[in-house]
Amino acid sequence: MTVQNYFDLAGKVALITGGSRGLGREMALAFADAGADVIVSSRKLESCEEVTAQIRGMGRRSLAVAAHAGKWAEIDGLVAAAYATFPQIDILVNNAGMSPSMPSPQVTEELFDKVVSLNFKGPFRLSALVGQRMMSAGGGCIINISSGAAFKPMPNVVAYAGAKAALNAMTVSLAQEFAPAVRVNAIAAGPFLTDISKAWPEEARRTANNAAGRPGRPDEIVTTALYLASTASSYVNGAVVRCDGGLR
């Protein structure tokens, strides 16, 4: 096989939550460029449709589905819509998440539940539903977008760090449960200059406490995602791959 063949996603169907912006959008467009048809989901249908229009312009099929990735009823609807349009899902990326920064005593029960639901409970439900179908179809891969905060918990994001640590544990557990047909891996992302970074102080947008000394560009998630989504990582399962510039 050539290097290009390893990353070829032709004939594959990918479902990406939080796919309308940031890292999710970058992965959706990259997967389409590699040959995959892509289902783009987020809470706002109009935002999803903007990305699906770009993907169709690349000659791929694409479906926009509005769904809250932390609510099981909406996840069930997302799965039903996806399989009503495509015969199978080969790649699932659990990318949707939220990480509000707030002193722990100020975190309400409602906010705590929202953070855990979006970063852990929802990905569990979606992985369980899609993973089961992948097993029946004979193969597939799931990629969970985690965070460096799971390895190096930081103040004011305790619920988020805990949820991402749980996501990492889920990654390893489901890799065993769905093996050998389905691979389940995670990307522990560091600071990236996505939409959320617009609210950061200027210093945080220029420098970062990592070996690279800077935040990542959104497109710098692409090669790691392509690696885990393709046959290039056929012997990688239950791994949490750090893409954080060498977080300290």
Nearest to 24 by CA among 47, 57, 58: 47
- Whether 160 is catalytic is yes
Q: For residues 198 and 2, is the Cβ–Cβ distance under 8 A?
A: no
Handedness of CA 26, 232, 127, 160 (dihedral sign): negative
Quote the CA–CA distance of 229 and 237 in Å, as a whole number.
11
Q: How many angstroms separate the Cα of 214 from the Cα of each of 25, 91, 97, 247? A: 21, 30, 22, 10
Structure tokens at 154: 């930081």
Those residues whose C-beta lies under 8 Å from the C-beta of residue 130, and which sit 6 or more positions away, are 15, 79, 89, 92, 140, 142
Among residues 6, 83, 160, 227, which one is catalytic?
160
Quote the CA–CA distance of 197 and 23 in Å, as a whole number.
12
Nearest to 60 by CA among 50, 71, 52: 52
Which residues are designated catalytic?
160
